[in-house]
Amino acid sequence: MAMLHTVNKSPFERTALQSCLGHALDGASVLLFEDGVYGALKGTGVSGEVAEAMGRVKFYVLGPDLRARGLREDRLIDGIQVVGYDGFVDLVTSHDNVQAWL
Amino acid sequence: MSEIKKFMYVNRKAPYGTIYALESLEVVLIGAAFDQDVSLAFLDDGVFQLTKDQDTSGIGMKNFSPTYAALGDYDVTKIYVEKESLEERGLTLDDLQHLTYEDEDDDWAEKDSIRLVTREELARIMDEQDVLLSF
Amino acid sequence: MVNEGPYNHQASDSAYQFTKAALEKGHEIFRVFFYHDGVYNGTRLGVPPQDDRNITQLWQELAEQHDLDLVVCVAAAQRRGILDPDEAKRHGKDADNIAPRFRISGLGQLIEAGIKADRLVVFGD
């Protein structure tokens, strides 16, 4: 069973991303959206933690939320996949369940 | 055609500062009537919801903590409390209400509803759920 | 499940965009359930600035197009003052404010949706 975890708050404001990574099993997926997209940036205080987690969990970031915040894809940690809302829908249907880390 | 799904209510926020703790309990109580496989998870600041001795007289808000003690009457027998979340907050099980239910399959013996689990154990339990409600 | 009101948080926008994308892909949306401050999405009295999206109206239009079931939780709504004509009458209020295409109902509708739908997604803070 693979779970889709969603994180919508900035890792610099809330511990939601950390908590998510602490509970995501190997093979799960994490979608960063809304303010959660800041967790996908390279060169931040949490980039190391995220990059390390990428070894066991798949990361996705919502493109529209990145662009809204003026963030270009070349600022993302390598290997994080950018998806649109249609991709968000596909992630939900291709996983067994969804846990929202608010 | 009516399958039973595993419903987990995920509580990660402290009580009173926001309404999420109170209103999530309201969902649990209504949800009890649907005979699903229900469990509650308390992790991160959610563990603060279960502390004993809550006295709200000074803040003018309703003390809804007695509702947790009534959960047993609503067939809620699985209340997972995360060990690491307690420790990170300097709490032990002793700081929490002693929640129990009466097991109808065991001559109505009173049993503990709170199951102390590690982060890793809780992660596995969450993974098995069909529906996860976060507040 | 939409846990926050319009504008204050992005939750309702995200839920709307997700719902729209799912419908465009041919999926069925069993129900959109508004809880906590999410009930504020169901007021018909909102007058947001003209140069920005009208969130309540967007939900109404989507519901109209796709026959969506937009449900506002009665308990959360009462608490926050979102009433339909029946509720207003029942509680002796001099007005109601529920927006067309939204309906007020109980938490059971949320649980039922969790049981009947294949997936449940929560949008909140």
Closest CA to C101 of C32, C35, C50: C32
Question: Which residues of chain B make contact with C34, given a CB cutoff of 8 A?
Answer: none
pLDDT value at position C122? 98
CB contact under 8 A, B132 and A102: no
B11 contacts B18 by C-beta, under 8 angstroms: no
Count of beta carbons in the 10 Å neighbourhood of residue C22: 22
User: Which pLDDT score is estimated for A1?
Assistant: 59
- Residue B1 predicted with pLDDT over 80: no
**With contact defined as beta carbons under 8 Å apart, do B28 and B74 qualify?**
yes
A39 in Cβ contact with A11 (< 8 Å): yes
- For residue A84, give the CATH number of its domain: 3.40.1260.10
**Domain span at residue B112?**
6-134
Kindly write down the DSSP assignment for every residue of B63-114, as one continuous string: --THHHHHGGGGT---EEEEHHHHHHTT--GGGB---EEEEGGGTTEEEE-E
The string of pLDDT tens digits covering residues B43-89 is 999 999 999 999 999 999 999 999 999 999 999 999 999 999 999 99
Residue B1 lies in a domain: no
Helix (H, G, I), strand (E, B) or coil at B134: strand
pLDDT of residue A41: 98
A86 → closest Cβ in C25, C120, C121: C25
Tell me the pLDDT tens digit for each residue of C36-94. 999 999 999 999 999 999 999 999 999 999 999 999 999 999 999 999 999 999 999 99
Active site residue C28: no
Q: What mean pLDDT value characterizes chain C?
A: 98
Residue B113 maps to a domain? yes
Question: What is the reported pTM?
Answer: 0.98
Domain membership flag for residue B75: yes
Confidence of residue B123 (pLDDT cuts 50, 70, 90): very high
pLDDT at residue B2 in the model: 66
Local confidence pLDDT in tens for the 102 residues of chain A: 599 999 999 999 999 999 999 999 999 999 999 999 999 999 999 999 999 999 999 999 999 999 999 999 999 999 999 999 999 999 999 999 999 999
> Which two three-digit tokens encode residue C96?
């109601």
At residue A87, the pLDDT reads 98
For residue B11, the domain's CATH number is 3.40.1260.10
Q: Which domain holds residue A60?
A: 3-101
Residue B58 domain-assigned (yes or no): yes
Q: Which domains does chain C have, with CATH numbers?
A: 11-116 (3.40.1260.10)
8 Å CB contact of C25 and A34? no
Average pLDDT, integer, range B25-53: 98
Q: Are C36 and B34 inside 8 Å of each other by CB?
A: no
Predicted confidence at residue C73, as pLDDT, reads 98
C-alpha B2 chain-centroid distance = 25
Residue B67 contacts residue B24 (beta carbons within 8 Å): no
C109: helix, strand or coil? helix
Asked if residue C7 lies in contact with residue C52, where contact means CB atoms within 8 angstroms, the answer is no
Q: How many domains does chain A have?
A: 1
pLDDT band for position B3 (cuts 50, 70, 90): confident
The tally of domains found in chain B comes to 1
Of C107, C115, C120, the CB nearest to B30: C107
